[in-house]
Structure formats: C-alpha cells, structure tokens
C-alpha cells in the first residue's frame, strides 16, 4: 500500500518538454490509468516513476519518501513492459525467481513465493518452459508474476494489453483488474485505449502534449469533461458551433431543445457545443427540428443512426433496432458547453460536479 | 531444447490459430520448396568443390610417397612426412609457439575490444563513428605498409624480435573482428531486457553478466573464434617483427614450401587447419544449432 506523488515533474529533452509540470497524487491501493494519445507523455511519466528516466525538474514521492534520485533497482516499483521483456535464455521459473535471488532470500521462501506468484497468474506447470514456447497472453502473465513476486509498493503497467488479440485482451484485462484488487497494490496503467482505462481504472488522468488535461473517475471524465480535448478523446461527441438559448441551444439559426437545464447566463456568447450520441433523442414531436436518416450502422450492442439535418450530420446511438420513416425529429437530452478556446463551461452552483473531484479551471459562471 | 524434456503445454486459443498456416502461406510454401531445395543443393555442391576438395588433395599429399601425373591417387603411401615434421625440432617448436601466441593475443584482444564493442553498441560519444571506421580502415589496405611503419615504432621501443612485439602486431589483425561482431551482438540485445533486470533489483554489472552477456554470447563467441584463427594464421606481421626468435606456424610454412618437398608442406598445412576444424565443431551447437535461435526469439 503506497501513494505515489508527482510534484512539478518536468522532463525536457533538447529544450523540448516531453512532460511538463505534472502534479499528481495516485491514491494507495488503486488502479490509476494514464490515458492519452501516443506522444502525449504517458509512457515517459511511467518511466519517470520507475526510475528509468531522471526528471529535469520536480520530484517523485512514494509513501512520502523522495525517490527522484534512486535508480530503478533501488525503487519500490516494478514494471511490466509493453513487450514483456522476458529474458529469453531463462525458463519461466528463472525469470520469476531472479529478483528474489538478487535479494538473497532463503531458498524455501523463494520457492514458496514463486509458486504463489505463478498460481496467482494461473501458470503453474509452466515452470520449465522458455518464453518463446509460450503464447503472448502467457508471456504477459509471466511478466506480471515476475513483478508481483517482489511484492513492490507500486506496480507499473506499460500498455500491457496492446500486443494481445481483441478477445484475449478483454480476458487479460479482467484478470489484471482481479489480481490488482486481490493484492490491493497501487497500480499505474499506461494506455491509449480509453475503453481499457474506463473499464478497469479507479481513476484516470488524461495526458496530452505532456500535460494533464483532467484527473477523475471514469464517470467524471465521461460526464464532465473539463475541456474539448478530454470530451473528444474519452467517448465520442457530435460537435457544433452555436449559442445557448432559453431552453436549448441555437445552432445555425435553429433552436434545438435540451432537456437538461443549462447554465442560466451566457445567452449571447459564441460557444462550442458537444453532444454525446446517446444523448440525442429521436422523437415524433413536430415542434422539434426535422432530420432525415441517411445511414444505419449495426454496432452489435447498439445501433448507430446517422442523421442529416440543417445543422449538419448527427450520430445517434440507440439501443433498440428499428427502421425509420422520413422525416423524423430530434432533441438533445443533455449537452456539453465549451468556450471557443475549448474550456468547459461550468456552473458554480453545480455542487454535484464539485463533489466528484472536478479539478477544472473551466470558465465558471454565476 | 530438443534434448531436454519439454513441459506439457496445452494450446491456448490464440496460439492454436497461430499454428494453423494460412492459405497464402500454404501456397507460398509449395512454390518455395523446390526452389529452396535447388539452391541448397547448389550451395552444398559448391561447398564440397571449393572447401572440401582442396582439403582432400592436401590430405592425400600428406600420406603420399610418390604421386606423379596423371595418376588419380598416389602410387605409394607413407607416414614418414608426419614423422619428419613432428620430430624435426624447429617445426614442433613453431607449432608450440603458435599455440602460445594465439590464446595470449585472443585474451588481450578480448580485454581491449569487448568493452569497446559494448561501448560502441550502447553509448553514443564523440568520435564513435570515426573510431569504428578507423578500425575498418586499418584492415582495408595492404597491411605490409602498416607493418613497416609499425616496425619503426617497435624498433624505437626495443620490441623488435620480442614476444610482446609479436603480440602487438598480431593484435592488429584481430581488432576489427573482435570489435565489430560482438558490437553487433550487444546491439541486438533489446534494452528493455536490461531495464527489466534493473527493475527487479540487479546492479548494472549484474545486468551485464546475467542478461546482456548470455544473450550476446553467440556473437561474442564468433568474434573470439575468428580472432583466435586470425592470430593463428597471421604471417606477414609476425614474420617482420618476430624473426629470428619467434617463428610461428604460418611463418614456418613459407620456409617449408621453399625447402621441403610438397608432402611436408601438406602435413604442416593440415596441422594448421586442425584448430579451425576443431573449434568450429566445438561451437557448432551455438552457431548453427537452433537452440539459441529458438530461445532468443523475442515477441
């Protein structure tokens, strides 16, 4: 059990900031995801925590102890590498036991702990196999066992699922989550897959351009994105330029009703409006704006309906399957408002949002 | 791997599909097989003609008492050439000398070159490229010129005709091999494997001994063997620096060819060839065998 704290962590390579002034507290025993596009600095951050990189400025603290100057072998962290990095000339047993051998543990204890770790990842019986004899999923689990056997304070996972096929990925994802919760180990997961981050992490930090865009629980990120980047990266959005109107939004001169109450002010301001596909309601109400169904895409779990309307194309997710007679009508259940600079518009009175650990410096309105 | 008992590994879903060749692969395989077989056969025939052929002739000469044209095999056989070569004292002495020089030179060269090879592979420092190219350049031009100017230096330091003078001149011909080949081997070790070892608690030197060196070993071994053979076969520089005190096998060859009948030279040539053959047989498992190739596949 350990908290990880990053204080003003900055890494510059040839004057270019790879990560910039990261301030982050990773709570003890939680699964914490660093989510972002490639080149966003998430792997760099993980390597800074693991000690493979030295920051230009700032500190890494684990359990309040400054580990910034420590090399990887002296840190209480353990990393599962993206390519697993199993030693090909050693058997599964030798791979897992090596860290314990270096710690000069008694033989009996070593055997017990390796056995325990291999049992945990479900690989007993493979002790004498070489990495090349194992499948990708099995190699991944050896790498996990190699880290867990050391009982580190912090487990670092670098894109652990990116080399597995889709089906296996879902299974291993659940396994990792299950093991993490059983052991109760503080875990930092790097991923570019928002689905992965949202489904197994307790908390997610969205990173882009070496800066934290937002930190929060998966629900907070999805429901209350702090800026346009987060709104676009986590989930999908229909984007429009428009203005707030009395009971809805004004887009391209059309009034579209919004069922959720909107901030009271801002009436004349130019805004960027984001609408989640599941927040578009299809209605029969002739007072609502009209649209034509141009395409229906079956997505398995749900149906994606593409509407053509005077305000542009609108993507809609519906859970029921049905064909539509033209024309139909639509309105929005809720929408997200952003300033033209991309910052979310937040109402100060919205206590629920503040309670959800919303750390925005979004534009606050009275 | 095949000699060891394989653990029982049930196939996983993902793996099973990997094992099934795709239609495209099946089609390609049926086209490739005859072609690759033909190329393989050609290579083997070439190998027999150009490498084994001369050796067979050499071997025949070594036991020939009389062998006149156009007979296909000698008219009379004898062991006497072997007795002459092995008992004539200076010939035996030069064999001994060669097998003292080669290990000394190889060891020294390894001590100098392997750290350099590691540095070339892992660090970037000013002049890195220049160093690598200069090593190559030292071997790209006729060596006699190099040896002549070296002789001047060795003379100045009183090293002409001494043991260490010969060692130094032989080192030159091993430098490129002992640096370039192990350097490539070190470079092929993924950095992540080293980082993973650091991560579980290994100090840098432990990482080197337990991870980097074992994985790079086949390449290093090739370097060591070629270095050993280069030293063993080195004649020009040794001749220039070593005479009259240190006459090694290849230097002796020159005099032998001039002063003795062809048969004695053949016997000597075989003795000179033996170390190469024995060494290659010893490490065949490492270089040709699939053991390492299979174990070292990294996904």
Interface predicted TM-score (ipTM) over 0.90: no
Q: What is the pLDDT of residues A195-206, one digit of tens each?
A: 889 999 999 999
Query: B225 near B280, Cβ under 8 Å?
Result: yes
> Which pLDDT value is given to residue B25?
58
Strands across the sheet with A248-251, in order?
A: A254-257, A248-251, A238-245, A271-275, A336-338
Residue with tokens 């002409």: B160
Instruction: Kindly state the average pLDDT of the residues A108-116.
Output: 92
Domains annotated on chain B, with CATH: 24-77 (no CATH), 89-294 (1.10.3720.10)
Q: How far is CA B11 from CA A129, B16, B215, in A?
A: 13, 6, 27
pLDDT tens per residue across span B73-101: 777 778 887 887 777 767 778 888 888 89
Report pLDDT for A356: 42
For residue A361, what pLDDT is reported?
A: 39
Q: Is pLDDT of A360 > 60?
A: no
Per-residue pLDDT band for B199 (boundaries 50, 70, 90) equals very high
Instruction: Give the nearest partner residue to A88 out of B195, B210, B298, using CB atoms.
Output: B298
Q: What is the pLDDT of residues A300-319, one digit of tens each?
A: 778 888 988 888 889 998 87
Span A233-242, mean pLDDT?
89
Q: Decide if pLDDT at B20 tops 60.
A: no
pLDDT digits (tens, 9 = 90+) for B31-40: 556 677 788 8
- Predicted confidence (pLDDT) at residue B274 exceeds the cutoff of 60: yes
Query: Nearest CA to A75 among A138, A133, A8, A154?
Result: A154
When CB atoms are compared, the residue of B193, B214, B294 closest to A85 is B193
pLDDT at B9: 42
As a whole number, mean pLDDT of residues B167-179 equals: 87
Closest residue of A to B191, CA-based? A85
What's chain A's average pLDDT?
A: 86
pLDDT at B258 > cutoff 80 = no
| Identity of the residue in A52, A77, A83 whose CB atom sits nearest the CB atom of B299 | A83
Contact A128 B200 (CB under 8 A): no
Going by the DSSP 8-state scheme, the letter that residue A227 receives in this structure is: B
Task: Indicate which of A71, A72, A158, A170 best probes the interface with B, i.e. most B CBs within 10 Å of its own CB.
Answer: A72
CA distance B296 to chain A (A): 5
Distance from chain centroid for Cα B107: 14
- Hunting for tokens 């029969």 — which residue is that? A284
Q: Whole-prediction pTM value?
A: 0.76
pLDDT at B5 over 60: no
Cβ of A137 within 8 Å of Cβ of B296? The answer is no
């Amino acid at each position: 059990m350990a908290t990880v704290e990053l204080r003003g962590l900055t890494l510059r390579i040839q004057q270019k900031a790879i990560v910039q002034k990261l301030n982050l507290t990773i709570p003890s025993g939680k699964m914490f995801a660093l989510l972002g596009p490639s080149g966003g600095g998430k792997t760099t951050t993980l390597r800074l925590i693991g000690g493979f990189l030295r920051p230009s400025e700032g500190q890494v603290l684990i359990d309040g102890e400054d580990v910034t100057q420590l090399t990887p072998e002296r840190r209480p962290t353990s990393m599962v590498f993206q390519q697993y990095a199993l030693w090909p000339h050693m058997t599964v047993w030798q791979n897992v036991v090596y860290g314990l051998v270096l710690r000069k543990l008694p033989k009996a204890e070593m055997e017990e702990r390796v056995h325990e770790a291999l049992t945990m990842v479900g690989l007993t019986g493979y002790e004498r196999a070489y990495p090349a004899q194992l499948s990708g999923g099995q190699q991944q689990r050896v790498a996990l066992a190699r880290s867990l056997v050391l009982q580190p304070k912090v487990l670092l996972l670098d894109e652990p699922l990116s080399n597995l096929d889709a089906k296996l990925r879902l299974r291993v994802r659940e396994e990792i989550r299950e093991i993490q919760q059983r052991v109760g180990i503080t875990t930092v997961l790097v991923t570019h897959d928002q689905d992965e981050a949202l489904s197994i992490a307790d908390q997610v930090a969205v990173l882009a351009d070496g800066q934290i865009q937002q930190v929060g629980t998966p629900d907070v990120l999805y429901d209350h994105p702090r800026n346009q980047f987060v709104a676009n990266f986590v989930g999908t959005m229909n984007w429009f330029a428009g203005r707030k109107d009395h009971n809805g939004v004004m887009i391209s001169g059309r009034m579209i009703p919004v069922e959720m109450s909107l901030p009271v002010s801002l009436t004349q301001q130019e805004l960027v409006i984001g609408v989640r596909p599941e927040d578009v309601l299809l209605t029969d109400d002739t007072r609502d704006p009209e649209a034509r169904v141009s395409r229906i895409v079956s997505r398995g779990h749900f149906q994606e309906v593409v509407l053509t309307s005077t305000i542009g194309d609108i993507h809609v997710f519906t859970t029921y399957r049905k064909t539509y007679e033209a024309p139909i009508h639509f309105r929005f259940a809720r929408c997200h408002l952003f300033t033209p600079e991309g910052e979310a518009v937040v109402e100060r009175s919205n206590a629920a949002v503040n309670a959800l650990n919303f750390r925005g410096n979004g534009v606050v309105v009275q | 791997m095949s000699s060891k008992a394989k653990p029982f590994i049930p196939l996983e879903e993902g793996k099973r599909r990997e094992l099934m060749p795709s239609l495209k692969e099946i089609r390609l395989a049926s086209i490739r097989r005859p072609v690759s077989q033909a190329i393989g056969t050609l290579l083997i025939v070439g190998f027999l003609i150009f490498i084994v052929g001369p050796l067979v002739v050499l071997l025949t000469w070594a036991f020939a008492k009389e062998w006149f044209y156009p007979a296909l095999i000698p008219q009379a056989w004898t062991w006497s050439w072997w007795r002459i070569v092995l008992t004539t004292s200076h010939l035996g002495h030069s064999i001994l000398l060669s097998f003292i020089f080669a290990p000394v030179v190889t060891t020294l060269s390894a001590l100098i070159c392997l750290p350099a090879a590691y540095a070339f592979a892992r660090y970037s420092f000013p002049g890195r490229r220049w160093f690598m190219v200069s090593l190559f350049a030292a071997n790209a031009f006729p060596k006699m010129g190099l040896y002549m100017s070296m002789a001047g230096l060795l003379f100045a330091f009183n090293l002409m005709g001494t043991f260490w003078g010969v060692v130094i001149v032989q080192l030159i011909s091993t430098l490129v091999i002992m640096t370039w080949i192990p350097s490539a081997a070190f470079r092929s070790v993924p950095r992540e494997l080293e980082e993973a070892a650091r991560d579980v608690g290994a100090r840098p030197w432990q990482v080197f001994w337990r991870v980097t060196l074992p994985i790079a070993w086949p390449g290093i071994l090739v370097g060591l063997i070629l270095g050993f053979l280069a030293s063993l076969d080195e004649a020009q520089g040794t001749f220039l620096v070593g005479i009259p005190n240190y006459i090694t096998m290849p230097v002796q060859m020159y005099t032998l060819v001039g002063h003795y009948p062809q048969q004695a030279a053949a016997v000597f040539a075989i003795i000179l060839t033996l170390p190469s053959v024995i060494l290659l047989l010893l490490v065949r498992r490492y270089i040709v065998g699939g053991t390492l190739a299979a174990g070292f596949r990294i996904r």
